[in-house]
Amino acid sequence: MLHKGSCHCGKIAFEVEADVREVVDCNCSMCTKKGILHLIVPLDRFEILQGADNLTTYRFNTGVAKHTFCR
């Protein structure tokens, strides 16, 4: 199913082809404290429609996981 979304401020808009039953819990301290759920999809099922220049990426600990979000 195709879903549309945006960041809180509305500068970034995206579409994702996904089954919401694929949502998973993350056990890191940040996600646990904020109650964040993840929907991990292949890049070819995700498209940024506007605002890519407003994205920033955060890496922590080993640097493997990349969290991209609106700055």
pLDDT of residue 44: 96
- The torsion angle over the Cα atoms of residues 57, 62, 64 and 65, rounded to 10 degrees, is -50
Beta-bridge partners for 55: 70
* Phi, psi of 70, rounded to the nearest 5 degrees: -70, 130
pLDDT of residue 55: 94
Assigned token pair, 41: 């999809």
How far is it, in rounded angstroms, from Cα 2 to Cα 27?
27
**Model-wide pTM > 0.75:** no
How far is it, in rounded angstroms, from Cα 14 to Cα 3?
8
pLDDT tens for the 71 residues of the chain, in order: 999 999 989 999 999 999 888 889 888 888 889 888 888 899 999 999 999 999 999 887 888 878 888 88
pLDDT of residue 36: 86
